């Protein structure tokens, strides 16, 4: 199995019931999985643990057969830098950097100033999300959907194999949201595994599979 969660339990300090109460899940390579469920049901907690951003209290997460929970901070950081990419409801772009610099942000400590080869790569992924012409703009000069597409371009620049998206269309109007969904579908068809939290039923229906969470478990 490509990515698998086994009996994940997670409690936050002060919480009376666990945020995750024993979640098991399998995700195939190239699958597009949607995660639904009411606010507070544990969706973001699950995504955070699957993507090695956070640790469970117990349980395991197997990525390509290896448990990433006991793997250690260094290995988990490497995984996040190399294989996993993230987009969130709010895009986390750096306002003082250009669109191109934001796209290449994961590499910025290695490549400052941006060299020809990296610039080409950045421009290539920006073209793929339809933003080649905005490379020199700042995030503040873009629309919400364009900003979200920069976040997707940043994920693409890293050649990630899994994209974790936590309500990527949550702050967008429906037309802009559809554009972002089209892009995610297209990337998925190209082989990218996508795990997406969404409250939107129409978008959830575009996924290969939909799971619903309630009170920290999958229904």
Ligand X SMILES: Nc1ncnc2c1ncn2[C@@H]1O[C@H](COP(=O)(O)OP(=O)(O)OP(=O)(O)O)[C@@H](O)[C@H]1O
DSSP class of residue 13 equals: T
CA 121 vs CA 107, 135, 147, 186: distances in Å: 11, 12, 18, 19
18 interacts with, out of ligand X, Mg ion, none, CB within 5 to 8 A per kind: none
For CA atoms 63, 68, 69, 70, the dihedral sign is positive
Least CB distance from residue 43 to Mg ion, whole Å?
5
Q: Let me know: does 134 contact 99? Beta carbons within 8 Å.
A: yes
When binding is defined by CB under 6 A, the residue of 3, 19, 129, 142 that contacts ligand X is 19
Cβ proximity to ligand X, 54 vs 71, nearer residue: 54
**Cis amide linkage into residue 219, ω under 30° from 0:** no
Cβ proximity to ligand X, 100 vs 195, nearer residue: 195
Q: Let me know: does 180 contact 19? Beta carbons within 8 Å.
A: no
Cβ proximity to ligand X, 157 vs 218, nearer residue: 218
Beta-bridge partner residues of 209: 33
Cβ proximity to ligand X, 42 vs 168, nearer residue: 42
Cβ proximity to ligand X, 97 vs 217, nearer residue: 217
The arrangement of strands across the sheet holding 162-166 comes to 84-87, 162-166, 193-197, 32-37, 209-214, 217-218
When binding is defined by CB under 5 A, the residue of 18, 25, 42, 44 that contacts Mg ion is 44
Site string for ligand X, 32-61 (x = CB under 6 A): -----x-xxxxxxx----------------
Task: Indicate whether 96 belongs to the interface with ligand X (CB under 6 A).
Answer: no
CA 184 vs CA 7, 63, 94, 103: distances in Å: 29, 21, 22, 17
Least CB distance from residue 193 to ligand X, whole Å?
20
Task: Indicate whether 165 belongs to the interface with ligand X (CB under 6 A).
Answer: no
12 interacts with, out of ligand X, Mg ion, none, CB within 5 to 8 A per kind: ligand X
Compute how many other C-beta atoms are within 10 angstroms of the C-beta atom of residue 140.
Answer: 9
Residues engaged in binding Mg ion (CB under 5 A): 44
Residues engaged in binding ligand X (CB under 6 A): 12, 15, 19, 37, 39-45
């Amino acid at each position: 199995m490509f990515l698998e969660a086994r009996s994940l339990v997670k409690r936050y300090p002060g919480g009376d019931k666990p945020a995750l109460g024993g979640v098991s899940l399998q995700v195939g390579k190239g699958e597009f999985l949607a995660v639904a469920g009411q606010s507070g049901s544990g969706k973001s907690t699950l995504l955070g643990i699957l993507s090695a951003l956070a640790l469970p209290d117990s349980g395991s997460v197997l990525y390509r057969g290896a448990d990433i929970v006991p793997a250690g901070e260094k290995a988990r950081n490497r995984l996040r830098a190399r294989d996993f990419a993230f987009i969130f409801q709010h895009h986390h772009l750096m306002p003082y950097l250009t669109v191109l610099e934001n796209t290449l942000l994961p590499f910025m400590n290695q490549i400052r100033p941006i060299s020809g080869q990296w610039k080409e790569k950045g421009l290539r992924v920006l073209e793929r999300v339809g933003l080649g012409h905005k490379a020199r703009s700042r995030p503040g000069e873009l629309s919400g959907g364009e900003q979200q597409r920069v976040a997707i371009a940043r994920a693409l620049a890293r050649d990630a194999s899994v994209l974790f998206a936590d309500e990527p269309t949550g702050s967008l109007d429906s037309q802009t949201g559809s554009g972002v969904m089209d892009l995610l579908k297209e990337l998925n068809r190209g082989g990218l595994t996508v795990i997406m939290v969404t409250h939107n039923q129409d978008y959830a229906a575009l996924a290969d599979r939909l799971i619903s969470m309630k009170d920290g478990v999958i229904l």
